[in-house]
Structure 1
């Protein structure tokens, strides 16, 4: 797609790692100027306490041929997000793409704990990180976007809208609320942006081979299949780059408004835009989860990647 996003300005909120980092890189590869925000820098870490930083992401964007500006922002701090909006306005005078990839709630997860057993503060913190931060970010940045038609908000979530229509087995209520709200954020913002010729879309990666996931499973990207011995359905997993490529293709699609208020997956977009993962495969994780994993079939990605 060459420089399909040349002249466009993007903010990728929470771009320190994982899918959001890869999205920033791929937007830059297509020519966008990308503001990379998050709480972890090379000298200061968030409570997630991982080494990946916004400066690292900015370097990856530059290496891909894009232009990146790393800005440390705690998106739960309204004044900091307002300052970011003022800076983008001052330096660019526009905003075309906002990727709301904010999370950071993993340290507070308590899998399979019903709400009366779940630590209340941990649960509320997940909602702050996964919902409040998104609202604060949109509040301050969307006034820049609506100045001209064509703007796009991508709300990152976990799971398709259909999959999250029911309570997720093994999840916890705070996590479920934080992630299922991504669909509602897309629906609501799409409705509010429509009169301005802009739109909002939800997006979910599949089973992501993020930095934290690989580390947690004791593997690297090179030998990730070794983890399938203990976690068989990991066979359908995908790289962050795959997610990044699909979102960048969506952002470059002049007809993207047809997805307004809907949640799309990396697998769906990959099929639509003929995009492959770095190994040449095309994983369709959520179709696999629905048709294989959820119904108790043996792990087998044949026909799904």
Structure 2
């Protein structure tokens, strides 16, 4: 008979024994999702291009995949672990080697998170108005396409055969914006394509994965208080983030990366997760469904807020967090 202590442990770590791969786990949402999967008991392979020996084109040496793996270890305790594997997901042979390693060491893959991006460095968000497609640098635009779309395709091509080996597997395409919100044009052109395509990927791959008893979804965090957003965009920290609302009042609806990590865990642990197959999901929407909160106990629903509240008007998050 299961003891009370064993029951509590199972509830606290519902993903114990699961194997996850978070592609693009160097920082932000990817790091938080990896850490929370580990906290829930999973063994998590974390990948990215920035290591303690090499910095990617994003240019942030302060976050590395080795650090992410250590944070996973710390959160997981004895149940799971973090395994850092430097990988450029635009290099098919590197991705093939990564998946072969997971197969060799674990023999299975239960959760694949495609959180690959890195395209912000090729966009000028400080510009008063974004240029038309034909005015943008074509090389930068095509690089955005590779980083935000091709990398996801390459990863899924090699990893999904391992995922479908066992029923119950989950593919998570990570993007910026829900299907409803992204019906509007997310200028500039290349950003719009990079962030709407994962929604369609989840829909299409959901059709194919369902044949193997697996599920695909597209998941978006809300306005994320990532490392770069805090220190580069607003020059604040997590401790004083509300000071940024003086510059951007609607930042009041923002959330920590941990929030989307917690909602991912709730989704992955749901025995009925197949009902979400092919869907566009958000951290705020899943939080309502599963009773998840952010680290401060609030439950921000950023995309509902940004859809329903006039972004040119005053900020009022009442009823949205």
TM-score, normalized by the shorter chain, greater than 0.5: yes
How much has 1:297 moved relative to structure 2?
3.1
Instruction: For residues 150-206 of structure 1, give each alpha carbon's deviation from its aligned partner in whole angstroms, at most 9, with x where no partner exists.
Output: 0000000000001112212xx200000000001011011101111100110000000
Residue 218 (structure 1) aligns with: 235
Residue from 251, 269, 283 that aligns with 1:266: 283
Residue 198 (structure 2) aligns with: 182
Residue from 245, 248, 252 that aligns with 1:235: 252
Residue 301 (structure 1) aligns with: 317
Residue from 60, 64, 84 that aligns with 1:53: 64
Residue from 260, 263, 267 that aligns with 1:250: 267
Contact kept in structure 2, 1:242 and 1:278, CA below 8 Å: yes
Residue 13 (structure 1) aligns with: 23
Instruction: For residues 267-288 of structure 1, give each alpha carbon's deviation from its aligned partner in whole angstroms, at most 9, with x where no partner exists.
Output: 0011111111111111010111
Residue 129 (structure 1) aligns with: 147
How much has 1:303 moved relative to structure 2?
1.1
Residue 148 (structure 1) aligns with: 166
Contact kept in structure 2, 1:233 and 1:293, CA below 8 Å: no
Residue 305 (structure 2) aligns with: 288
How much has 1:253 moved relative to structure 2?
0.7
Q: TM-score, normalised by structure 2?
A: 0.93
Q: TM-score, normalised by structure 1?
A: 0.97
Q: How many residues are aligned here?
A: 302
Looking at structure 2, the residues matched to 155 and 40 of structure 1 have their Cα atoms a distance apart, in angstroms, of 21
Counterpart of 2:309 in 1: which secondary structure? helix
Instruction: For residues 81-112 of structure 1, give each alpha carbon's deviation from its aligned partner in whole angstroms, at most 9, with x where no partner exists.
Output: 00001000000000000000000101101451
Contact kept in structure 2, 1:75 and 1:137, CA below 8 Å: yes
Residue from 169, 181, 195 that aligns with 2:211: 195
Contact kept in structure 2, 1:41 and 1:54, CA below 8 Å: yes
Residue 162 (structure 1) aligns with: 180
Alignment pair present for 1:68 and 2:82: yes
Regions of 4+ moved over 3 Å: none
Residue from 112, 117, 120 that aligns with 1:106: 120
